[in-house]
Structure 1
């Protein structure tokens, strides 16, 4: 798909490898709420987000996965199975109607057998995921709840210029904030003109002001 050639990890890879991934991948479609894979699932391939929105849910292996992030168009996930031969380390779930490019594990194995550089290309995707987790952890360390909520909303704009399909409870989970804190923050941000919101979605009007408020407080 052309979107995967121009956005995210695959767009940064050599043309030959990029073409091989796109030609051997399979486009799959998922209904809202469908679990693409679960924490602890058996080995599998990688997935690239073509359209829609997915939730990334993580936890230690003996706990229930919790929502921490929304996948951006062009992002890829699932590389751990290829690199480590260990089960899935997170849960991936479609939040809305979603399409993903799936490259099976055996396909990646064949590519790596023909070109050892494939391992390095895939490892770059892992490091991009680490960068995202660093941002998530940084945002969770912000002391004030309203600023954490602003950081979550600003980060949610990575899914594109579309309404953010999150409830107040889901925003609270991502920001480690109560429903009361989320409701108060959303009212504050709406009054400032930074967002407009309904029960199940939020439209970001001024992502830069949200970013500044998350970073500095005092009205951004």
Structure 2
């Protein structure tokens, strides 16, 4: 992946997701406190139980986000896309990390340390409100995940995962069939049969470790159809 400059990263982060929704003064202040970090494929940003830290904004690449209730091993829930921010819970609760974030591809992120957020909040109480918006956006995403998992048909659950994840962009989705099965609560047999069905319909092509969507609208329509 070609390296992205700090200036370019700030432009990308400001154009979508959470940072595009906050007041311009707060956005500028936050970016002044941010640093650029690079992750190689497979690098772990943080794990469950790690000490409290700052927030991270995805600029380029993809990260996997694995979550679980307390005392359970985290499971893959979603893939982060450019514009996605994570890590806000530590600022709001002062408790250790509750999830695991890992680079699925070479990835560029912006990092705002916890102490920088504290200094900003000491000057402006509305900072906590703005950071809490990240949490609410995460809740909306997880509500969609729960809703999709309640669909009784495995093929529609699989279609739902794929159409959510396609927002990564016009690149192959870095998902193995096993990972897709975890995200859709589907067996390997169900995943294999569904991918074959979607391939024959002309909606996608796939290898064992990646999936390329060719007809997003058809896939989305199938995911949302009611029987």
Same fold, judged at TM 0.5 (above): yes
Partners of 1:52 and 1:97 within 8 A in 2 = yes
Per-residue deviation at 1:13?
Answer: 0.8
Q: Which residue of structure 1 lines up, in the alignment, with residue 79 of structure 2? A: 70
Partners of 1:157 and 1:204 within 8 A in 2 = yes
**Residue 146 (structure 2) pairs with residue 137 (structure 1):** yes
TM-score, reference length from structure 1: 0.97
Q: Which residue of structure 2 lines up, in the alignment, with residue 88 of structure 1? A: 97
Show CA shifts across 1:159-218 (max 9, x none): 122110101000000000011110100010011111111121111111221121112167
* Uncovered stretches (5+) of structure 1, i.e. residues with no partner: none
- Tell me how far apart the structure 1 counterparts of residues 138 and 148 of structure 2 sit (CA, whole Å): 15
Q: Which residue of structure 2 lines up, in the alignment, with residue 150 of structure 1? A: 159
RMSD of aligned Cα (Å)? 1.0
Q: Which residue of structure 1 lines up, in the alignment, with residue 32 of structure 2? A: 23
Question: What stretches of structure 1 move > 4 A for 4+ residues in a row?
Answer: none
TM-score, reference length from structure 2: 0.94
Count of aligned residue pairs for this structure pair: 218
**Residue 178 (structure 2) pairs with residue 175 (structure 1):** no
Partner secondary structure for residue 117 of structure 2: helix
- Tell me how far apart the structure 2 counterparts of residues 184 and 50 of structure 1 sit (CA, whole Å): 34
- Tell me how far apart the structure 2 counterparts of residues 94 and 76 of structure 1 sit (CA, whole Å): 14
Q: Which residue of structure 2 lines up, in the alignment, with residue 202 of structure 1? A: 211
**Residue 18 (structure 2) pairs with residue 9 (structure 1):** yes
